[in-house]
Amino acid sequence: MPTTAVAVALSYVYLAFRHRERGFEWRGYAAGALSNVLLVPFTLIFIGGINNRMLAAESGTGKQLSQETVRHLIATWGKLNAVRVFMPLAGAALGLWNFLQ
């Protein structure tokens, strides 16, 4: 997903530059790019730690986790993933808004 987010963000940056140099509205594309690219640090900072803890426990290289801890981590991962889903959705909405202007 992060690779796709960066590719989409670069597309929006290209559109923003092209529209700006022609005097058209461009800020929606720039905001869409930012919304998509923010997916990467969000994933690395917030979701990456949970993934690392779970994978280390599963492989036996990390601390064993109780069933309650695993449930809590999965619930937290689910909530964070729900937030993460809205980032590219917001980027698409901003790009569409700019397109329709």
* Residue 70, token pair as written in the block: 């695993």
Residues 11-21 as b/e (b if ≥16 CB within 10 A, e otherwise) read: ebbebbeebee
At 47 the pLDDT is: 93
Tell me, yes or no, if the pTM score tops 0.85: no
Question: pLDDT under 70 in the chain at which residues?
Answer: 1
> Which amino acid is residue 23, in one-letter code?
G
Where in the chain are the domains? 2-100
At 78 the pLDDT is: 95
